[in-house]
Amino acid sequence: MVKTQISKIQLFMLLLGFLFGSTVIMTPTVGAKNDGWLAILVGGAAGILLMGVYSAIALLNPSKTLVDILMERLGKVAGNILAVLYIWYFIHLASLVFRDFGEFICTVTFPETPMIVVIGLFAVVLLYAVNSGIEVLGRLSELLVPIIPIVIFIIGLSLISVHDFTAFLPILENGITPVLKAALSFLTFPFGETVAFLMVFPHLNKKEKLKKVVFLSAGIIILAGTVIFFRDISVLGSDLMARATFIPHLTSLLIPGLNVEPLVDINLLIGGGIKISVCIYAASKALCQIVGIDDYRTMTGAITTFCVVLSIWVHESTLDLFSWSEKVWPYYSIPFQIVIPLLLLLLSLRRSKSSNKKEKSLKG
């Protein structure tokens, strides 16, 4: 069977788009106020480790998807249950991003448009993308993702005259606890969410580059996150930043004499789009693997529809969404993002060691 493959650049761009995701409109480290940059660095360091764990799992189980790995390492019953839970997690993640997108558009650009219209149309476009296959998604991200940093760069540069570079002082005003909390939420959003890529990694054509690609993309996100944080805080100040709903958007509104609001929309469209597409792809692929269907495209339509409905239904308002993603999401994600992957890594390591020994004993 000819396997669909993506190149390392395509995987890099996909990861980058995924990690940018909704971070282009929301700042997960908002709880740490002035010390957000510390939270970004700490959370980012942990995030790199976590993504290292994912890639290690992928490398120890070459050309196997998350579902295969779960089944193999944990047995059929436990593997199936966990796989179903993961599918739920991916769907939930996708619907959250859908909701982020809908909230942003309906709050900022189209206050009178029903959210279901915005999300529904977005879903139709994404369904087309997902149905085109992972190869096309890779090519798409190659074309579109480079726009995100360019836009961030443009906004940052146009704000150069209104910067207050001392706004992030004093350091650790409220002690280390809020920083660690914010770091946890930065770890789980967006780094831990890349667990969905365990369904995509098997498509990489050069396995030996996987670690490099993963680390590079995580590093770039940490850098970008820090830059965005310093940009926002030196423009808005810590009080305004703590109160704003969509921080990067508010920042972009402050550019003197120019309104670049649509550029933020575009960033969200690209980043969120890639995140949702990968989630839907992962969910439908996993579901198809569990029930034994060859073509994941049979499931995408149903799953996308479900995501759209869920995104409308799951939260009552913007504030509900925000407090939920700040207070519940990190802890809700821990088993999916940290506990199970670590378990899988340990099991895979043990298996590979024992198989190594076997090989050695055979040779000896």
Residues that bind other proteins (CB under 8 A): 1-2, 7, 9-10, 105, 109-110, 113, 118, 121-122, 125, 128-129, 132, 136, 138-140, 142-144, 257-259, 261-262, 265-266, 269, 273, 294
- Per-residue 3-state assignment (H helix, E strand, C coil) for 257-305: CCCCHHHHHHHHHHHHHHHHHHHHHHHHHHHHHHHCCCCCHHHHHHHHH
Residues 197, 278 contacting (CB under 8 angstroms): yes
* Cβ distance to other proteins smaller for residue 11 or 56: 11
- Can you tell me whether residue 179 is helix, strand or coil? helix
Give Cβ neighbours of residue 73 (< 8 Å, ≥ 6 apart): 79, 344, 347, 348, 351
Nearest distance from C-beta of residue 265 to other proteins, angstroms: 6
- Cβ closest to other proteins, residue 179 vs residue 279: 279
Neighbours of 103 (CB within 10 A): 24
b or e along 327-352 (b: 16 or more beta carbons within 10 Å of the residue's beta carbon)? eebbeebeebbbebbeebbebbeeee
- Quote the least distance from Cβ 136 to other proteins, whole Å: 5
The distance of closest approach from Cβ of residue 174 to other proteins in the complex, given in angstroms and rounded to an integer, is 37
Least distance to other proteins from the beta carbon of 18, Å? 16
Q: How far is the CB of 48 from other proteins (least distance, A)?
A: 25
CB of 297 to other proteins, least distance (A): 12
Residue 228 vs 274, nearer CB to other proteins: 274
Q: Please spell the DSSP secondary structure of 78-134, one letter per residue.
A: HHHHHHHHHHHHHHHHHHHHHHHHHHHIIIII-TTS-HHHHHHHHHHHHHHHHHT-H
Cβ proximity to other proteins: between 86 and 98 the closer is: 98
Q: Look-up: residue for tokens 């900022």?
A: 108
Cβ proximity to other proteins: between 7 and 29 the closer is: 7
- Nearer to other proteins by Cβ, of 9 and 49: the residue is 9
